Structure 1
Amino acid sequence: MMIEERHKLILEELKANPSVTVKELSKKLFVSEPTIRRDFTELHNKGIITKIHGGAIINTTAAYREIPFFLRENEKSIAKSEMGRRAAAMIEDGMVIMLDGSTSAYHIVPFLSQFKNLTVITSGAKTAVALAESNIRTFCTGGQMIIHSFSYVGKQAEDFVKNVNADILFFSCHGLDEKGRMTDNAIEEANIRRVMFEQSEKKILLCDSSKLGKTYFYNMGNISDIDDVISDVDIFHILHSTNT
């Protein structure tokens, strides 16, 4: 099992339980106890968890409510890259496009250098850097950075978005349930996406299969309110089958 996958599973366990022990995780993940201790130390040093005697607890501040970007970036990376390629097929020269701070939107960047006179607006810090390195005209919202996702939120970010217009928005969500509701568990990120909706002519959801059937606290709207969905599965067929 790759280290990134172990870290993701450890964080999922900690999100579901107040604390976990080295022994429990060693048995559940089929790895040695020293391996789990090393994982705990690395996550502790990154400020994501706190080590306690024989185990660990997750840090519960707003900055660490989510699995960090560096772990999510590698999750379903092949599927996200293919989704990025399909998203790029919807773009034309001279467009203004908007990307949220998700790892799904980040995977569109490698396919954008083929376009002429493209302008990209993003709330993702890592996405902005990748765009600039590709010599693409880039505007970053600025604002308060959410550490786990390297994305900008808050009034400053929202005010920036309110003053621009985009031809097309590519965004993600944390959960898409059987009723087609898009949800998030961080109100700040749900809010910036809602503002992006208002300022974009077309809205395209990037949603891989790991997000299906999940519901979080904050509503972002319904897929009936947007223009299309790009996924690694046939989402519309799945939703239709679920509701019939």
Structure 2
Amino acid sequence: MSITKRQEQILSLLEEQGFLSVERLSKLTYTSSSSIRRDLTRLQNLYLIRRTHGGASIFRELNHAVPLSSRMEKNIAEKRKIAKNASVLLRDGQTVMLDGSTTAGFMVPYIAKHKDMILFTNNMQTAITAVNYGIKTHCIGGESVNQSVVTSGEQAYSAIVKIFPDILFFSSQCVDYDGYIYDPILEENHIRELMLKNAACSVFLCDAEKIGHRSLYRLASVNDIDVCVFDQEIPEFHTKTKVIY
């Protein structure tokens, strides 16, 4: 979850300028364009920036007035708390699906505490972590999304439609006050749609800072999800869905 000094510099530049091209970032940081592209992919996977054609822009609506170091540390603490809260839904012998989000990845230590668990995920790093915990793990193949550790594409889609997990844990970039879940990455949104169709129980993992925002692509309504798990109580957010915090 940590980022490099150069990635921190890129974020600072984007905070100041709003949008910068890969070429401009390369000149400002004295770094090759290929390295900048890898940095931008990393920052997008952490939901800190939005990749656009030829460059990147900052997620101003989610990141304003929050120092980077504090935001990173706080996000880790929140994700751990959310995973702990969600762990009450785990039972021995379950088949568990985790989406490609980093938040869902924090469920792995809690899954490992149960017997005879089977895990499916389209996040390669989550899969490696799960294997190291001794969990029987299936990593869903496919194309890397924006050169990240998350897989998507036709191979992934055809695999997911054949999997019927007992429980799905997933997250997304944000959710508005009307209860609609959004994400800026089309491929990841489609993967989640397929996962949701086959899961016996769906669990949405969300920290409070994601509430009240919208992004590029709408995924679903929280009213169609079985359980929502937050890191704290959110009085202004109302849903008919079961809530854990």
Give a deviation string over 1:129-166, Cα, whole Å, max 9, x none: 10111110111111011146411111111111111111
Q: CA RMSD in A?
A: 3.7
Q: Percent identity?
A: 28
8 A contact 1:205–1:229 mirrored in 2: yes
- 1:67-78 equivalences in 2 (<5 Å): 76-78=75-77
**Equivalent position of 1:60 in the other structure:** 52
State the TM-score, normalizing by the size of structure 1.
0.75
Give, in angstroms, the shift of residue 59 of structure 1. 6.4
SS in 1 for 2:80: helix
8 A contact 2:14–2:57 mirrored in 1: no
Question: In terms of Rg, which structure is larger?
Answer: 1
**Equivalent position of 1:45 in the other structure:** 35
Q: After the TM superposition, which segments of 4 or more aligned residues of structure 1 sit over 3 Å from their partners?
A: 2-12, 40-44, 58-67, 71-75
- 1:1-244 equivalences in 2 (<5 Å): 6=8, 9-10=11-12, 13=15, 16-18=18-20, 41=31, 45-48=35-38, 60=52, 76-147=75-146, 149-235=148-234, 237-240=235-238
Structure 1 residues 150 and 228, CA, compared in 2 at 3 Å: closer, same or farther?
same
8 A contact 2:18–2:58 mirrored in 1: no
Q: What are structure 1's unaligned runs of at least 5 residues?
A: 23-36, 51-57
Structure 1 residues 64 and 121, CA, compared in 2 at 3 Å: closer, same or farther?
farther
Moved more, 166-175 or 58-67: 58-67
Determine the C-alpha separation between the residues in 1 that align with 2:144 and 2:33: 20
Alignment: residue pair count: 216
**Equivalent position of 1:26 in the other structure:** none
Determine the C-alpha separation between the residues in 1 that align with 2:32 and 2:74: 19
Give, in angstroms, the shift of residue 6 of structure 1. 3.2
Give, in angstroms, the shift of residue 193 of structure 1. 0.1
SS in 1 for 2:37: coil
Determine the C-alpha separation between the residues in 1 that align with 2:134 and 2:17: 39
Structure 1 residues 49 and 142, CA, compared in 2 at 3 Å: closer, same or farther?
closer
